[in-house]
Amino acid sequence: MSVVGGKPMHCLSFDVEEHFQVSAFWSEARRQQWDKYESRVENNTRKLVELLDQHGTKATFFVLGWVAERYPGLVKALVAHGHEIASHGYGHELITDQTPEMFRADVRRAKRVIEDICGKRVYGYRAPSFSITKGTEWAISILIEEGHLYDSSIFPVLHDRYGMPNATPTIHLLRSEAGRIWEVPPSTANFLGARLPVAGGGYFRLYPYPLLRAMLKRSERSGHPLVMYLHPWELDPDQPKMEGSWLSRFRHYLNLHKTHGRLSSLLDDFRFDTIQTILELNTGTFSNIDTVSPHYEASLARTEMIASCGKPSLP
């Protein structure tokens, strides 16, 4: 793990989507109404950029193609502020609900839209709701074939909506029949033999910040970069309320009023940069994957092999 200015360097990322596009509130009928809901993503993201500027921090923004088409100026502003632009897909549809052909079309469309707007190559991808799970591993090959160099869609935890609990929990190379790709899993922490999610999102709002900080510091001592994520809508406690199950509403609206302050504290306590920068700092060969040592590699030939390939890690 690289150290700059006496502090270890970690990955910070944001999934840029509207508050009404989250998977917990998904329905096909609601999907047809997206253009009729109040849009808040541009203002929320610009406020987020202001906070990052105050802390001198760069991050990776996984932008939904649907959002990029409607707010190209926002994407260009992110680039102008020095942030990395990556893909969150186009229509925020779960991979588990798509065929390989549908997924390829979604990924290709999003990558083309975003690259045309920002004028830069898109290297990274993160699936909506981390929906590369057991049964959708085929998505990795498609990402490689469509020109992505890293993925951040495999969450190595047990969860009712996503997750591959036996997956390698640190940054590594995945190999498929299409080639190799960096996998950048959201961070977890080991506690009493259990692997707990600590990367962000609802977990960032659920745990008291002193407890979260302690768990992140413990993970930091393992020598691997943290991979954190949030959404711009999580800094917007005044967003319109959506109808949904009590669990979905609890997960979505819990402690939104605390996110801004907690994120500011996180930026004080840890040092972050873009995923691309962290990969380059730690490997020196980010864009030339074919030259990377097999030391980093894990296989997707069988799901259960992911955790039994020598636990690939960054030096």
Per-residue pLDDT of the chain (315 residues; tens, 9 = 90+): 777 667 899 999 999 999 998 877 777 777 788 888 999 999 999 999 999 999 999 999 999 999 999 999 999 999 999 999 999 999 999 999 999 999 999 999 999 999 999 999 999 999 999 999 989 999 999 999 999 999 999 998 876 676 688 889 999 999 888 999 999 999 998 887 788 899 998 889 999 999 999 999 999 988 899 999 999 999 999 999 988 888 888 888 899 999 999 999 999 999 999 999 999 887 766 666 554 545 455 544 433 333 222 233 333
Position 160 in a domain: yes
Position 52 in a domain: yes
Nearest one of 13, 20, 58, 247 to 152, comparing CA atoms: 13
Position 315 in a domain: no
259/265 Cα distance (integer angstroms): 10
Position 73 in a domain: yes
How long is the chain? 315
Are 229 and 275 in contact, with CB atoms under 8 Å apart? Answer: no
Position 112 in a domain: yes
Determine the structural domain holding residue 139 and report its residue range. Answer: 3-308
| CATH value at residue 267 | 3.20.20.370
Position 313 in a domain: no
Are 12 and 57 in contact, with CB atoms under 8 Å apart? Answer: yes
Position 68 in a domain: yes
- Please, is 39 exposed, middle or buried when counting C-beta atoms within 10 Å of its C-beta (0-12, 13-18, 19+)? middle
Position 202 in a domain: yes
Name the domain count of the chain: 1
pTM metric for this prediction: 0.90
